[in-house]
Structure 1
Amino acid sequence: MTGGTVLAAATAGSGLTITWSVGTVVLAVVAVLVFALGLAASIALHEIGHLVPAKRFGVKVTQYMVGFGPTVWSRRRGETEYGVKGVPLGGYIRMLGMFPPHRGEDPSVVRESSTGIFQTMADDARRLSAEEVGPDDDHRVFWRLPVWKRVVVMLGGPAMNLLLAVALLGGVAVTAGTVVVPTTTVAVVQECVLPAGTGRDTCPEDAPPTPAAEAGLLAGDRLVSFDGRPVTGWDAVRDDIRDAAGRRVPLVVERDGREVTTTITPIATRVARVDEDGEVLLADDGRPLTEEVGFIGVRPEQVQPAQPLSDVPGVVLDAFTGTASVVVTLPVRMIDVAQAAFGDAPRDPDGPIGIVGVGRLSGEIAAIDQISSVDKVTGLVSIMGSLNMALFVFNLLPLLPLDGGHVAGALYEGARRRVAALRRRPDPGPFDVARLMPVAYVVGGLLVAMSVLLLYADIVRPISLLG
């Protein structure tokens, strides 16, 4: 019930390096193995989310399997066989009676099929479903459950992935933080003024010094006051600097535990105007709007503080909306992946990525020199949290064979029974989900094709944290 395609977002970085050694290779391999175990655990818990309510409601469950393909290990406990299969890219539980018979027929008897291919698919699904039902099992089939119980069973798997995503992403937020915040401490003092768009990072001999360099600012200085006003945060002092173009203003910094007073004259520079979300504002002709602001030539240190528990819902909501946006635009994004894989188009770092790609990113996180051990652990945990959010969102799509398809069928059945009752008409009976099997085959084929394309793209045009 879980697919083999993972939808996750990755942001390519710059300036990151890997110094390959035996220890680095071991770390990368361990990270990939941890990711593989985490994926298997996520799939196993997803299926437990289906298994527990199904058994609780009395449905006979004959199999609980993690993976597809040949069985590697299995053991029967009671009426259920528990096992692991050779391809750990999904899983399933087998419940009796997933599809109802035709109305008025004996559940163990399937009517003769027509010659239409779609009808044949539906009849084959009903026949296979009926063959599993023994003479004493008719009251324990899935389709006889009330609508709300069927919805609970089918949503149990995605709900388990959501709980895992909340625990993992929320845990990272409250222990290591997920938001990078600029501080009032200077990280970099630019030596000279370079025209925008030159792409240069070295100063030519005739380049004028930046106001910060001319004022004697050093990396590590903490801004105390600017133009007579206390510095309470980077955003506030940045706005003050922008408004002080061409004016000579007093500046106080803390250096090595003592305060140093100097003066600084921000120079005027023209930059693009942005809105509250950081998006560039455009004129009617499509050109960016610009404004003249003050510039001194410093970059602040950035920290990633632990967040309060109250921030966890926002962190989870951001992960959900980001994943949902990928899923909603998936057809277009897969075209972009194909163009990158088979052409010269760049790979979108925020686009869909497959299992191999996520495993590669896990190995890179463990091997990158500039990332601390704590950040490596939190990075891997964040990947697993994003993976579970992807499984949650993807399985909610109202299409068979995904869990959302069964939920949609149950809800439709409940709605039409309700309408019939309000109109005082006979009960229309269970909705024939087997009629949607052609859709299931098409969706399944698309999922396989998508997984193969992502596998190929992750090999020939991988998304990398190294840029």
Structure 2
Amino acid sequence: MGAYLLGVALFALGIAVTIALHEAGHMFTARAFGMRVRRYFIGFGPTVWSVRRGHTTYGLAALPFGGFCDIAGMTAQDPVTAEEAPHAMVNKPWWQRVIVLSSGVITNVLVGVIILYCVAVSSGLPNPNPDVTPTVGEVVCVSDQIDAQTLAECTGTGPAGEAGVLVGDRILAIDGDEMADFRQVRDTVLTRPGEDVVLTVDRGGRILDLAVQVESVTRLDPQGAPYEAGAVGLSSAPIPDAVKTYGPLQAVPATFAFTGQLLQGTVEGLAAFPTKIPGVVAAIFGAERDVEGPMSVVGASRVGGELVERSLWNVFWMMLASLNFFLALFNLVPLPPLDGGHIAVVLWEKVRDFFRRLRGLAPAGPANYEKLLPLTYAMAATLLTIGLVVIVADVVNPVRLFG
């Protein structure tokens, strides 16, 4: 329990540092361009602690679900004093505004890359080209499924064991169809209850064809409904060289390659995000929780605790790196009040003024954010609602990686 609580605390701290660095990216670049930073806060809501240094108030707020960097004159509707006017963001060149607005995103990407580099040279990154040939790790009996985590008791060696399959056999094909990995083996057997199949295996260089009668068992779908499935009583052996450790120089290209994979996965996750929300709502009322669904600070910290409890520090740090990538790409969504929404407005001003110049007109000045207020409020309300729903799900039915 002590290791679990340590992991929860460390991952929560990691999230807080991630948010702090994101906002620090905005703050430092704003100052570099002579903009006035009024407030730099971690959290929202009532102030828990604050201190003023120069023109900036630093503080912690009661709700640790984000943070903000208040830069004077972020929009034309943001009142500024006569003393602040020369330092207002809205009065700076468009490219400086874009850099400041995107600096939080850039900071999170850099933090994620640095974490992955450290993991690469210490405990290693997933091997991009492992040998995934399905290899038997265990031969067992088969039985019906009782609930999401439990199978009925059984005895014997199971259909595969009775057919002569041994631990260490490499499954090359089923009924002549090549098997790319153990997941394909499982999915193929699953659809063949009661049938006879031929497993082609490689046993130390000898190729054998073993006839196996697939047993019919009861399995439960994600909603808990029973269905008939096939089982032969095999489990996968660990993939050899699944993790690869690199030297300081070799880790550079490996880190960038793995970063690309995580960023691609993050983009796909963001695209699927809206479709995952109904499942989160259903989980509040008892449905099975999707381990690949959205998690809040609460849920992510609990998963961090599970990882530390099992000494899976490399996965812990890769998860924190992935969180940085998610925060970066999520903030690029071109909708206010996200950073991407503000960047989109600045770029729209630039494009608009370009066409005005072609027509012989003067620049129209900063955009009127009052017209965007309904969209901003709607987006903020949506994010707040989703956040609360995910937090509730993480409390009553949290994601558990290890059952």
TM-score (ref. length: structure 2) = 0.76
Change (3 A) 1:150 1:434: farther
- For the pair 1:412 / 2:348, whether they are aligned, the reply is yes
CA distance in structure 1 between the aligned counterparts of 2:334 and 2:66, rounded to whole angstroms: 18
Q: Which residue of 1 aligns with 2:254?
A: 311
Shift of 1:202: 5.2
Q: Which residue of 2 aligns with 1:3?
A: none
Secondary structure at 2:18 match in 1 = helix
Alignment of 1:318-329 (within 5 A): 318-329=261-272
Aligned Cα RMSD in Å? 3.8
For the Cα contact (< 8 Å) 1:158–1:391, is it kept in 2? yes
Shift of 1:435: 2.1
Q: Which residue of 1 aligns with 2:83?
A: 136
- For the pair 1:444 / 2:386, whether they are aligned, the reply is no
- For the pair 1:147 / 2:94, whether they are aligned, the reply is yes
Letter in 1 for 2:24: I
Of residues 300, 309, 324, the one that matches 1:358 is 300
Q: Which residue of 2 aligns with 1:21?
A: none
CA distance in structure 1 between the aligned counterparts of 2:199 and 2:18, rounded to whole angstroms: 59
Q: Which residue of 1 aligns with 2:192?
A: none
Shift of 1:414: 0.5
Letter in 1 for 2:29: P
For the Cα contact (< 8 Å) 2:140–2:158, is it kept in 1? no
CA distance in structure 1 between the aligned counterparts of 2:113 and 2:22, rounded to whole angstroms: 14
Q: Which residue of 2 aligns with 1:157?
A: 104
Q: Compare 387-396 and 166-175 and name the one that shifted more.
A: 166-175
Alignment of 1:393-408 (within 5 A): 393-408=329-344
User: Residue deviations 1:250-289, cap 9 Å, x none?
Assistant: 9547xxxxxxxxx663225699xxxxxxxxxxxxxxxxxx
Letter in 2 for 1:351: G
User: Residue deviations 1:218-251, cap 9 Å, x none?
Assistant: 66x9x9xx9xxxxxxx979xxxxxxxx9899995
Structure with greater Cα Rg: 1
Letter in 2 for 1:74: S
- For the pair 1:267 / 2:203, whether they are aligned, the reply is no
Change (3 A) 1:160 1:298: closer
Secondary structure at 1:426 match in 2 = coil
Shift of 1:70: 2.8
Letter in 2 for 1:266: D
Q: Which residue of 1 aligns with 2:126?
A: 178
- For the pair 1:332 / 2:275, whether they are aligned, the reply is yes
Q: Which residue of 1 aligns with 2:313?
A: 377
Of residues 364, 383, 389, the one that matches 1:453 is 389
For the Cα contact (< 8 Å) 1:266–1:296, is it kept in 2? no
Change (3 A) 1:81 1:422: same
- For the pair 1:53 / 2:29, whether they are aligned, the reply is yes
Q: Which residue of 1 aligns with 2:287?
A: 345
Letter in 2 for 1:306: K
For the Cα contact (< 8 Å) 2:280–2:390, is it kept in 1? yes
For the Cα contact (< 8 Å) 1:97–1:141, is it kept in 2? yes
Q: Which runs of 5+ in 1 are unaligned?
A: 1-24, 101-125, 227-233, 237-244, 254-262, 272-294
Letter in 2 for 1:146: P
User: Residue deviations 1:293-325, cap 9 Å, x none?
Assistant: xx9978544243225532323322222222222
CA distance in structure 1 between the aligned counterparts of 2:112 and 2:365, rounded to whole angstroms: 38
User: Residue deviations 1:77-122, cap 9 Å, x none?
Assistant: 221122222322211111111221xxxxxxxxxxxxxxxxxxxxxx
For the Cα contact (< 8 Å) 1:75–1:83, is it kept in 2? yes
For the Cα contact (< 8 Å) 2:39–2:57, is it kept in 1? yes
For the Cα contact (< 8 Å) 1:53–1:152, is it kept in 2? yes
Shift of 1:335: 1.8
For the Cα contact (< 8 Å) 2:143–2:153, is it kept in 1? no
For the Cα contact (< 8 Å) 1:170–1:316, is it kept in 2? no
Alignment of 1:47-196 (within 5 A): 47-100=23-76, 126=77, 129-130=78-79, 133-174=80-121, 175-179=123-127, 181-182=130-131, 188=137, 190=139
CA distance in structure 2 between the aligned counterparts of 1:56 and 1:318, rounded to whole angstroms: 33
CA distance in structure 1 between the aligned counterparts of 2:202 and 2:24, rounded to whole angstroms: 65
Q: Which residue of 2 aligns with 1:259?
A: none
Letter in 2 for 1:40: A
Q: Compare 304-313 and 452-461 and name the one that shifted more.
A: 304-313
Secondary structure at 1:84 match in 2 = strand
CA distance in structure 2 between the aligned counterparts of 1:354 and 1:247, rounded to whole angstroms: 44
Change (3 A) 1:332 1:52: same
CA distance in structure 2 between the aligned counterparts of 1:248 and 1:354, rounded to whole angstroms: 45
Q: Which residue of 2 aligns with 1:280?
A: none
In the comparison of the two structures, how many residue pairs are matched? 357
Alignment of 1:149-298 (within 5 A): 149-174=96-121, 175-179=123-127, 181-182=130-131, 188=137, 190=139, 204=156, 209=161, 252=204, 265-268=208-211
CA distance in structure 2 between the aligned counterparts of 1:206 and 1:52, rounded to whole angstroms: 64
Q: Which residue of 2 aligns with 1:239?
A: none
Moved over 3 A (4+): 179-187, 194-197, 199-213, 245-253, 268-271, 295-301
User: Residue deviations 1:30-75, cap 9 Å, x none?
Assistant: 1111112111111111111101111111111111111222333322
CA distance in structure 1 between the aligned counterparts of 2:324 and 2:72, rounded to whole angstroms: 27
TM-score (ref. length: structure 1) = 0.66
For the Cα contact (< 8 Å) 1:74–1:81, is it kept in 2? yes
User: Residue deviations 1:314-364, cap 9 Å, x none?
Assistant: 32222222222232233221122112223x533222111111111111111
User: Residue deviations 1:356-393, cap 9 Å, x none?
Assistant: 111111111222xxx4x3xx211221221121111111
Secondary structure at 1:466 match in 2 = coil
Shift of 1:161: 0.9
Q: Which residue of 1 aligns with 2:17?
A: 41
CA distance in structure 2 between the aligned counterparts of 1:166 and 1:382, rounded to whole angstroms: 10
Secondary structure at 2:400 match in 1 = coil
Secondary structure at 1:398 match in 2 = coil
For the Cα contact (< 8 Å) 2:37–2:70, is it kept in 1? yes
Q: Compare 299-308 and 64-73 and name the one that shifted more.
A: 299-308
For the Cα contact (< 8 Å) 1:188–1:298, is it kept in 2? yes
